[in-house]
Structure 1
């Protein structure tokens, strides 16, 4: 495998799957609607048909103030419920769509929604079992990160996870020790996530039914391939920078009219599409890692001993008639 070439080609391949990204974007919008419905429905019932009413620019300061008071009346449960519901739907949707995404990237060709849905259903059970093994494998990596944090804290070395809020505001939080600790956490998380993606590719490409074997084989491959792991991290950083840049452009749009509101909504969807595209790019990168792996050993069939040759039958002479 050539990590640099795969790093450059993965985003191009991911963003060329326009129909796949369209399906993922629609699914993401459905989750967003489910998440925001408990907040939007009371707001629409309280304010009427639109927040832009009463002849004022959108959004009017009076409407924003009234909406803030409406949120305050509901308390924490008013916002915690939609957030928890959205998280559950988002994680469940990722598990459901994982099989279709991997199948489309492993077998390039014309996108078929029926084929995509069938692979989503077929691979769902294996992906659920693989998630259990992945969460179990996350425990030692998380314990290693916590152990490093505790050791640095006892040695009075700062980390980004142990700094107080006033130190973030008054001092420079980025020191040699804090950056080294952050790099360790990033490497551990990338090792876990890349092995999880690679195991999902193996489940489909090898028709592997033992998810434990796929998870362990993927983890060993990523430990033995530091170049591939570094490429996976760089791809994630590129996606993060792209999303931050587009989010800044989205925040620069001042919503003072209906047209600006639609523009802001379009920019928001562009940010989400970019995030989804780089998520697909990570799966493309995992497919390239899989294709460079040695083939999975197939257990040899036991040779059965050949049956012993039967002795030739002795013909008994028939009795002669008198």
Structure 2
């Protein structure tokens, strides 16, 4: 596997999936609307007929002050409820869409909404079982991070997780040891996440039903492929940088009128689209890792042709890049 080429081409492949990105963006926008309903309805009921904002820039200071007072009266349940609801719905949405996303990135055919929905439903059970193994595999990763943090602290070496607020404000927190610890944390969590993504690809491409076996094979493959792991990390960090840049652009939009509020909403969708695109790109990297895994097996499975009288017809195996998931 050419790790450098995969790192460069994975984002391009992901962002060329315009229909898939459109479906994911619509799903996330719908989720955001559902999440905001518990906040919007009381706010509209409270301020929909208020005179405090008439003739003032949007949002007016008067409305902001009134809204702050409303939050102070019952801010805990008012904000915690939508936040918890949004977190649970977002987590569930990612699980539901995972099978369709993997099938689309594995299949060279045209995007089909019906096929995408079918793959989402057919792979949901396996992805749920795989999630259990992934959460179990997260425990040793967290343990290693905690152990490394404790060892750094006992050696009196600073880490970004143990510095106090005063140090962050008055001194440079980025030293050799703090960056080394941060790099270790990034590598460990990238190893866990990439193994999880690769296992989902195996479940689809191999029609694998034993999720424990898929999770173990994926972990071993990522450990044996440091170049692929570094490429996965590079794509993830690039995506993080792009999302932060767009988020900074979104923060620069001053909402002083209604049309600028719509502009801010549009820029926010660009931020979400960038996040979704690079999330697809990291999965595309693991698709390339799977192809590198499957290539030697495919070559070894081509024996010398036997005499016609001894040949038997074998069931056609499901290979990545076939018609699975097409319309």
Q: Same fold, TM exceeding 0.5?
A: yes
Tell me which moved more, 267-276 or 150-159: 150-159
Distance 1:253 1:222, change over 3 A: same
Q: Give the C-alpha shift of residue 71 in structure 1.
A: 1.1
What does 1:155-304 correspond to in 2, within 5 Å?
Answer: 155-294=155-294, 295=297
Higher relative contact order, structure no. (Cα contacts within 8 Å, ≥ 6 residues apart): 2
1:262, distance to aligned residue in structure 2 (A): 1.1
Number of residues paired by the alignment? 298
| Deviation beyond 4 Å, 4+ runs, structure 1 | 49-53
Q: Report if the CA contact (8 A) 2:99-2:121 is conserved.
A: yes
Q: Are positions 1:130 and 2:130 aligned together?
A: yes
2:55 is equivalent to residue 55 of structure 1? yes
Runs of at least 5 residues in structure 2 that lack an aligned partner in the other structure? 302-327
Contact 1:51 1:58 in 2 (8 A): no
Deviations, residues 5-58 of structure 1 (Å, cap 9, x unaligned): 111111111111111001101111111112111111100000016899512111
Quote the Cα distance in structure 2 between the aligned partners of 1:52 and 1:69: 14
Deviation at 1:72, TM superposition (A): 1.2
CA 1:32–1:226: 2 relative to 1, 3 Å: same
2: distance between equivalents of 1:166 and 1:36? 36
Partner Cα separation in structure 2 for residue 90 and residue 50 of structure 1 = 33
Aligned-residue CA RMSD (Å): 1.6
Asked whether the 8 Å contact 1:51–1:59 carries over to 2, the reply is: no
- TM-aligned CA distance change 1:165 to 1:53, over 3 Å: same
Equivalent position of 2:151 in the other structure: 151
Which residue of structure 1 aligns with residue 43 of structure 2?
43
Deviation at 1:75, TM superposition (A): 2.8
Moved more, 32-41 or 130-139: 32-41
Superposed displacement of residue 78, structure 1: 1.5
Instruction: Determine if contact 1:195/1:222 at 8 Å carries over to the other structure.
Output: yes
Contact 1:51 1:60 in 2 (8 A): no
Q: Which sits farther off after the overlay, 79-88 or 199-208? A: 79-88
Mark the CA change 1:239 to 1:50 in structure 2 (over 3 Å): closer, same or farther.
Answer: farther
Query: 1: distance between equivalents of 2:82 and 2:88?
Result: 10
In structure 1, the gaps of 5 or more residues are 299-322
- The answer for the alignment partner of 1:315 in structure 2 is none
Deviations 1:262-284 (A, max 9, x none): 11110000000000000011111
| 1:117 aligns to 2:117 (yes or no) | yes
TM-score (norm. length: structure 1): 0.90
How far apart, in 2, do the equivalents of 1:4 and 1:29 lie?
34
**SS of 1:293 mapped into structure 2:** helix
Measure how far apart 1:173 and its partner are. Answer: 0.9
On the 8 A contact 2:103/2:116 being kept in 1, the answer is yes
Residue in 2 aligned with 1:311? none
TM-score with structure 2 length normalisation? 0.88
What do the CA deviations read for 1:127-173 (whole angstroms, capped 9, x no partner)? 00000001111111111110000111112211111111111111211
Q: SS where residue 123 of structure 1 aligns?
A: helix
Q: Is the 8 A contact 2:53 2:62 kept in 1?
A: no
Partner of 1:308: none
Does the aligned pair in 2 maintain the 1:51–1:63 contact within 8 Å? no
CA contact (8 A) 1:253 1:264 kept: yes
Q: 1:7 to 1:59 in 2, by over 3 A?
A: same
CA distance in 2, matches of 1:52, 1:190: 50
